[in-house]
Amino acid sequence: MSERQVINISTEEAKRQTDIIHILSQSLKGKNLKYCVSTFGCQMNARDSEKIEGMLEEMGYEKITKEDEADFVIYNTCCVRENAEMKIYGRLGHLKTIKKKNPNLIIALCGCMMQQDIVLETLKKKYNFVDIIFGTYNIYKLPELLQTRLETQESVIDIWDSHQDIVEDLPNTRKYNFKACVNIMYGCNNFCTYCIVPYVRGRERSRELSDILNEVKALVADGVKEVMFLGQNVNSYGQSLSTPVSFANLLSEVSQIEGLKRIRFMTSHPKDLSDELIEVIAECDNVCKSVHLPIQAGSTHILKSMNRKYTKESYLELVSKLRTAIPHIEITTDFIVGFPGETEEDFLDTLDVVEKVKYAGAFTFIYSKRTGTPAATMEEQVPEEIVKKRFNKLLTLTNDHILENMKKYVGQTVEVLFEETSKNDKTVLSGRTDTSILVNVKAPDTLIGHFAQVKIVATKTHYLIGELVE
């Protein structure tokens, strides 16, 4: 039996930080300070950044997008692949120039990358102009760290190697007023052999069902129509709580909240997707009919070496169960190409899965060696030219299938929740269907945050084009 977790939701700690926020807001009053947050990586980091922004705004900082006009710049970092880290080192080089011109600029780094010793060493040696460094377990301590930096004028490094409390109820912002992300759990216990996340985000811990329900109710009362539940493996939600609850239980409870129109979730690990969950998705109207189900690789032999705990066959069976129970469900996925030991035959298995599943979307990644993970020391790392060839082949094939899948929408009328104006054309709004497909429509921006019926008239590979139904 797995160990039961004791979660200490520290209201005391939240109060301490709130008090510091109050003190800082008094001392910083009238200074007209500006902040700029850059977020790298996944939705977890995006959600953490909302918490960071909320705290800074309570202190009186105003959000801007130009780093060279800011008084406080913070990078919330990712280290899932090497190029994510290289991007941050590159940006730091640029920040150094900005700081030379404005020595009062405070630079803070946080997030997953900071949890690695090797990164800390590099920062201390080559980037000692950084003022504040903290990690993934102590985001809520930002007010205190900033206070220390302002009082001592010295750089502050505070990295913990495991989590202590889940601190609820600190201020946070929301990017959209009609939709919100909600963490239902933190960390990961799965240790896929390529992945750094369990090392930088710690062991899996779930929030109490009642806390999640209260948060969602408050969001709905505040105008939210769509929530996205976040976790590295939402399907194992609640198993370690003192009174265990399943993810299916959580979804069916939340689906009863009056006024909540859409519930999404990410990410579903195929090994833990239960029949009970399939039933809940099928039965609850407001649980969206889309699932992100990363396969990573099609070959059972590679999946074993990745420690994914499912086979090609069991994955395909799961897809078929989902489609039988929920005929119009859309399935998206992640692929890793070039995992150590991947032969041409293994790669053909991945292509075969693409042919069989017909994904509605896919993120394709080239395997990136992460120091400290078991795969980093595996023999038979695949040569770069071979990986690139496979990557391009997989991308072309998945895109062909994605386009094929999109065509079925042409002529249909679908319900769209409009999210924002399109970057390229201000007269066009982008929104999503219940099945999470992106739709572009010529529409007034007063429709942002609202649902409308849209007739699909054409399609591109990654979005549908529609017209408002009068």
By CB under 6 A, is residue 254 in contact with ligand SF4?
A: no
By CB under 6 A, is residue 436 in contact with ligand SF4?
A: no
Question: What are the Cα distances from residue 443, in Å, to 427, 434, 461?
Answer: 6, 19, 21
Which range in 34-42, 186-194, 363-371, 404-412 contacts ligand SF4 by CB under 6 A?
A: 186-194
Task: Give me the least distance between CB of 77 and ligand SAH, in Å please.
Answer: 14
The interface partner of residue 44, options being ligand SAH, ligand SF4, ligand F3S, none and the CB cut-off 5 to 8 Å by kind, is ligand F3S
By CB under 6 A, is residue 80 in contact with ligand SAH?
A: yes
Beta-carbon count within 10 A of 118 CB: 10
Which range in 146-154, 169-177, 183-191, 399-407 contacts ligand SF4 by CB under 6 A?
A: 183-191
By CB under 6 A, is residue 233 in contact with ligand SF4?
A: yes
Amino acid (1-letter code) at residue 372:
G
The interface partner of residue 191, options being ligand F3S, ligand SF4, ligand SAH, none and the CB cut-off 5 to 8 Å by kind, is ligand SF4
Task: Give me the least distance between CB of 425 and ligand F3S, in Å please.
Answer: 31
Task: Give me the least distance between CB of 121 and ligand SAH, in Å please.
Answer: 21
Taking CB under 6 A as the criterion, the residue among 195, 318, 322, 464 binding ligand SF4 is 195
Residues at the interface with ligand F3S (CB under 6 A)? 41-42, 44-45, 78-80, 112, 197, 200-201
Taking CB under 6 A as the criterion, the residue among 155, 232, 305, 435 binding ligand SAH is 232
Task: Give me the least distance between CB of 77 and ligand F3S, in Å please.
Answer: 7
By CB under 6 A, is residue 198 in contact with ligand SF4?
A: yes
Residue among 132 and 362 whose Cβ is closer to ligand SF4: 362
For the four alpha carbons of 161, 165, 170 and 173, in that order, the dihedral sign comes to positive
Q: What angle do CA 368, 374, 375 make, to 5 degrees?
A: 35
By CB under 6 A, is residue 340 in contact with ligand SAH?
A: no
Cα–chain-centroid distance for residue 452?
Answer: 27
Helix (H) or strand (E) holding 314: helix 312-325
Q: Is 1 helix (H, G, I), strand (E, B) or coil?
A: coil
Residue with structure tokens 């039988």?
324
Q: What angle do CA 289, 212, 277 make, to 5 degrees?
A: 35
By CB under 6 A, is residue 192 in contact with ligand SF4?
A: yes
Residue among 96 and 301 whose Cβ is closer to ligand SF4: 301
Q: In this structure, which long-range contacts are made by residues 396-400, counting pairs with CB atoms below 8 Å and at least 24 apart in sequence?
A: 397/351, 397/354, 397/355, 398/335, 398/354, 398/359, 398/362, 398/364, 399/461
Answer whether 43's CB lies under 8 Å from 37's CB. Answer: no
- Sorted by sequence, the CB contacts under 8 Å of residue 270 that are 6+ apart come out as 293, 294, 295, 308, 310, 314, 315, 318
Half-sphere exposure of 213 (CA within 13 A, CB side): 14
The interface partner of residue 370, options being ligand SAH, ligand SF4, ligand F3S, none and the CB cut-off 5 to 8 Å by kind, is ligand SAH
Burial of 39 per CB tally in 10 Å (0-12, 13-18, 19+): buried
Interface with ligand SF4 (CB under 6 A): 188, 190-192, 195, 197-198, 232-233, 269
Interface with ligand SAH (CB under 6 A): 80-81, 194-195, 197, 232-233, 267, 269, 294, 296, 334, 336, 365, 367-368, 370
